[in-house]
Structure 1
Amino acid sequence: MTEQALFKGSERYIASPQLALAVNAAMHLQKPLLIKGEPGTGKTLLAEELAAALAAPLLRWQIKSTTKAQQGLYEYDAVSRLRDSQLGSDKVADIANYIKPGVLWRAFTADQRPVLLIDEIDKADIEFPNDLLHELDRMAFQVYETGELVEARQRPLVVITSNNEKELPDAFLRRCFFHYIEFPDAEQLKAIVDVHLPDIDQQLLDQALSAFFSVREFPDLKKKPSTSELIDWLRLLLAERVQAGQLALDEQALAELPLLGALIKTEQDQALLAQPLKRAMRSY
């Protein structure tokens, strides 16, 4: 597989050896790469950086709870055709005028092999992944209104992300190469921060990371802060000229961390962090 090892990360994206291996394995097998992990661990950015590294176009399909698989193939605008027929338009004679290609159609017919990102597939209905199986396997589909067969000129590199909000069907999983992005450890986070904030004071960074992990490890926290939220927090600390000593807090005082709203996004979690502090104040 050596000749297939095309992706090692980039200047903007620190990929672990395991993640780079997964990307290249999926490309070698010509299977969709299914990426899971906590929100903010770089799943979407991976597809963007893969496209940049390969100098390939990126086509993104952002999945919502209302998204249907058919929309990725094409949509037939029957309403516009009816309106045009009432107005006596010549367009009505050709039904192809009312067929709107979806992102899969554009990926299949692209002049250059694209990276196709199907982002947050777990947000859709449980049947959505199964509805895509046939098209992703055959790399072709039929336009029933016109009889046209749309076939892939070249197999796109498919990256599928999931936040684990719901389980995906076994039949779908069998057709993918899977990788779970583990949350970075302190050294990996330092490397990631160095990409975004290369001039940050190391003492401030060390104290910030210590406080950040203390927050993430706090019991019963509903939403743990992510890598992207850490970067935002560090940018704010620098903008406000916060000193390292202001972050040297123990668990009893995590609620007093400056600019905590960059890390903690719910009132329940902020109240939870304040509980040890309240207990300490009562005992005093």
Structure 2
Amino acid sequence: MNDWRIYRGAGLPHDEIRRLPAPPPWRDFSTGGADDTLAGSDRRLGVKRRLVQNHHPRPEETDAVNAALYLRRPLLVTGNPGTGKSTLAHAVAHELRLGRVLRWPIVSRSTLQDGLYRYDAIGRLQDVQLERAQAGAPAAAAPAGIGSYIRLGPLGTALLPSEQPRVLLIDELDKSDLDLPNDLLNALEEGEFAIPELERLADREPVVEVLSDDGRKVPVYGGRIRCTTFPFIVLTSNGERDFPAALLRRCIRLELEPPGEEQLGAMIEAHLGTDAAAGDGEQGLVQRFLNREPGEVIATDQLLNALYLTQHASRAERVTRERIADMLMQPLDQPR
């Protein structure tokens, strides 16, 4: 019987790491380069998603997405972890061919400034001091312009003028401090913002090139950025806090339910292929997920992890497979 384990805990060095199989598709970072705008979407949507292209989301999901597109309003998506909130942004970008999804992951220290742009004042000061120190040296380089020290954030890049909307994912907004949802209001309502460091130079330098979140140089006119096409913005929340009414009235709201049997089968097929849930053990894992207790939170990626890993354990090792499933499919709402 083949041993599926790479690490055995025996303390004896060996070369079994070479037997490590390919990673799960949603954790494969080897495909795509800097120019591959869909590499992240492949991990989110599944590299085999063409096999389930006839599967459709629930009607209320498509209605909410279309309402946000028509009304040029952000889409606020709430639901338990693993229900596909973030994936929805990638699905829209993929189907509508809107390119790479701009992602702004929110933490407790996130500010509006992080999403709009960053100005490296210290780096510029250091370069100026270095230039002064080398002023007497031959072939001293000319100091870089201020645009070299400004980089747009995901929100700032999404608001750049464009013919088609960019897709922006503001992930886990409920993790922010109390001020960020209110701070977002003006940018989301007006679709523009100023860069004061460039506004002060507008008379001398009306056009300045800065770096975007995509890594491209883009022109900024008069120190202000204003969208010509409002981006498709998805704000996600795990429902851990309430948001101010001023933000809610500016958003289209969607509550995502856990995937049903049809959606779950399509998701498994997209990521792992048609035979991923065919065996008795795999069907048991799927039924365990579908028959979980009401209110018990188990994310779909926990199921995918369990299906992937138990496929590599020998089918004769029933106890091992069950132990792996118990480890990977622990309810998220039950502390241990």
Provide the TM-score with structure 2 as the length reference.
0.65
Q: 1:209 aligns with which of 241, 265, 286?
A: 286
Structure 2 counterparts to residues 170-185 of structure 1, below 5 A: 170-185=245-260
- Say whether residues 1:63 and 2:136 are aligned partners: no
* Corresponding residue for residue 3 of structure 1: none
What amino acid maps onto 2:126 in structure 1?
R
Q: 1:163 aligns with which of 218, 238, 249?
A: 238
Dislocated runs of 4+, deviation >6 Å: none
Q: Counterparts of 1:84 and 1:194 in 2: how far apart (Å)?
A: 53
- Say whether residues 1:135 and 2:225 are aligned partners: no
> Matched residue pairs, number?
247
**Is the CA contact 1:122–1:162 (under 8 Å) kept in the aligned structure 2?**
yes
Secondary structure of residue in 2 paired with 1:38? coil
Secondary structure of residue in 2 paired with 1:126? coil
Identity %: 37
Superposed displacement of residue 146, structure 1: 1.9
More deviation, 203-212/39-48: 203-212
For the aligned residues, what is the CA RMSD? Answer: 2.9
* Corresponding residue for residue 172 of structure 2: 120
- Say whether residues 1:84 and 2:127 are aligned partners: yes
Q: Counterparts of 1:146 and 1:64 in 2: how far apart (Å)?
A: 28
Q: Counterparts of 2:148 and 2:270 in 1: how far apart (Å)?
A: 47
What amino acid maps onto 1:103 in structure 2?
P
Q: 1:81 to 1:16 in 2, by over 3 A?
A: same
What amino acid maps onto 1:60 in structure 2?
R
Secondary structure of residue in 1 paired with 2:169? strand
**Bigger share in helix:** 1
* Corresponding residue for residue 251 of structure 1: none
Superposed displacement of residue 203, structure 1: 4.5
Give ranges in structure 2 of 5+ residues lacking alignment.
1-44, 133-141, 200-222
Q: Counterparts of 1:194 and 1:84 in 2: how far apart (Å)?
A: 53
Structure 2 counterparts to residues 209-228 of structure 1, below 5 A: 209-214=286-291, 216-217=292-293, 224-228=297-301
**Is the CA contact 2:106–2:170 (under 8 Å) kept in the aligned structure 1?**
yes
**Is the CA contact 1:120–1:162 (under 8 Å) kept in the aligned structure 2?**
yes
Structure 2 counterparts to residues 223-242 of structure 1, below 5 A: 224-242=297-315
* Corresponding residue for residue 261 of structure 2: 186
Superposed displacement of residue 185, structure 1: 2.9
Q: 2:322 aligns with which of 239, 242, 257?
A: 257
Superposed displacement of residue 196, structure 1: 2.9
Give ranges in structure 1 of 5+ residues lacking alignment.
1-8, 248-255, 271-284
Provide the TM-score with structure 1 as the length reference.
0.76
More deviation, 158-167/190-199: 190-199
Q: Counterparts of 1:241 and 1:15 in 2: how far apart (Å)?
A: 35
**Is the CA contact 2:74–2:233 (under 8 Å) kept in the aligned structure 1?**
yes
